[in-house]
Amino acid sequence: MINLIIKHYDRKLMMYLSLLAIIGTIMLYSASWYESFLSTNGNSEMLFLKNHLKRLLIGMAFLVVFLLFDYRALKHIAPYLIIFSLFLLVLTKAVYLINGYSWYKPARWLSIGSLGFQTSDIARFSILIFMAYYVDKQRDNIANFQNGLLPALVILLLIMSLIIIQPDYSTAIMIGFLGILILFIGGAKISQILLTCSTALLIGIPVLLSREYRRERVLSFFGIGDNPDVGYQAHQSLISLGNGGLFGTGLGNSIEKNHFLPTPHTDFIFAIIGEELGFLIGTVPVLTLFLLIFFQGIKIAKNCNDPFGIFLSVGIVSNLILYAFVNAAVVTGLLPVTGLPMPMVSYGGSGMIINMSLIGILLNISQAKRAVGDNIWT
């Protein structure tokens, strides 16, 4: 018999997330006002801020919905979420092809009327829930490759393949990493994980380098190649961080956002944070907030006695910190340009809503203590 004891929602987690959302909103306005001014022919400096606030409010509504419903209900719909995600990913590519676009045309967004969303974000949401459900259900067999690990890998590979052909290689890699992480935490053998990753690299690297723009991006990262436009955005982000130094140029005083650093309010907003607020006041506190969120999420997982809740908590906070630190690594030149946003900070629609939904689930897990016996692994 499962006893449900209602507790307070994790206040520390809510505080960290609120601070991150406030900082993100302030910096998004600062990074985007000039772009807004130009995009509206001088009529408004708040175009992107208004859109961001609308999406933030929608995201908060989803957060509340997932906060109020028992997260364990997600177990029952996890397989259907995967089927739905596969359908959306296939539909996205099919719509672009039917409309006469070439196979290589980026096909990442699906529009229904005025509503547009990135289907890979829904796939990311579904994979986190499904993998937690699968490992919980198959935890006695997960160490068995054929009957335990292989079915999960097949589903993960299907999702990744459909995202790669969009093409969105970086998101596919992130989803693959998160799926493998949950499988490993759930008891998959390290030897099988290493074999899987090695096979994926042998297949994935040639696919990655098969397109010229991806080859140029990788070569530019290593300082090879003769196309100056490929590494322009990464170079400008380093200039932006250099301008900021330790204490920044002051809020609103970025030079790079004035059409030197392209789309500074999206994937490279971290560079504007570094330029205006500096290393000590801007970039370090933002990354510290992500670390605090991660450790608080791990604490929630440790205090949870439900295996599904444990795996899901770890998956959610790993998703947030992985995206944040990969984004920071790209901006600082430690990784090639990937196009991955910084959660809760970068301008975006479906990504914001999905992340807020995941946070709602995490808060839901934090407010309930579930006793399922002395040994939950038997």
Q: Which amino acid is at 128?
A: L
Domain of residue 189, residue span? 3-371
Rounded to two decimals, the pTM is 0.91
pLDDT in tens, the chain (378 residues): 334 444 567 889 999 999 999 999 999 999 999 899 988 988 888 999 999 999 999 999 999 999 888 999 999 999 999 999 999 999 999 998 998 888 778 888 887 766 778 999 999 999 999 999 999 999 888 988 888 899 999 999 999 999 999 888 899 999 999 999 999 999 999 999 999 889 888 888 887 777 777 777 777 777 776 666 677 888 899 999 999 999 999 999 999 998 889 889 999 999 999 999 999 999 999 999 999 999 999 999 999 989 999 999 999 999 999 999 999 999 999 998 888 999 999 998 889 999 999 999 999 999 865 434 334 333
CA angle 58, 80, 321 (to 5 degrees): 50
Within a domain: residue 378?
Answer: no
Within a domain: residue 363?
Answer: yes
CA proximity to 63, closest of 357, 355, 316: 357
Within a domain: residue 376?
Answer: no
DSSP H/E element including 63 = helix 47-68
CA proximity to 292, closest of 61, 12, 72: 12
Distances (CA, A) of 311 to 15, 302, 314: 23, 10, 5
Question: What is the number of other CB atoms lying within 10 angstroms of the CB of residue 10?
Answer: 20
DSSP-derived 3-state class of residue 95: helix
Residue 43 in tokens: 């009529």
Number of domains in the chain: 1
In this structure, are residues 85 and 159 in contact, taking their beta carbons and an 8 Å threshold?
yes
Residue 244 in tokens: 């900021």
pLDDT for the residue numbered 215: 76
CA proximity to 310, closest of 260, 255, 377, 263: 377
Specify which residues 369 forms β-bridges with.
5
Q: How far apart are CA 353 and CA 122, in angstroms?
A: 10
pLDDT for the residue numbered 8: 66
Cβ within 8 Å of residue 218, ≥6 positions away:
208, 209, 336
Within a domain: residue 377?
Answer: no
DSSP H/E element including 206 = helix 190-208
Q: Look at strands 115-118 and 109-112 and give their pairing.
A: antiparallel
pLDDT for the residue numbered 178: 97
Q: How far apart are CA 64 and CA 305, in angstroms?
A: 23
Within a domain: residue 68?
Answer: yes
Question: What is the number of other CB atoms lying within 10 angstroms of the CB of residue 114?
Answer: 5
Within a domain: residue 169?
Answer: yes
Question: What is the number of other CB atoms lying within 10 angstroms of the CB of residue 103?
Answer: 10
In this structure, are residues 92 and 108 in contact, taking their beta carbons and an 8 Å threshold?
yes
Q: Look at strands 3-6 and 109-112 and give their pairing.
A: unpaired
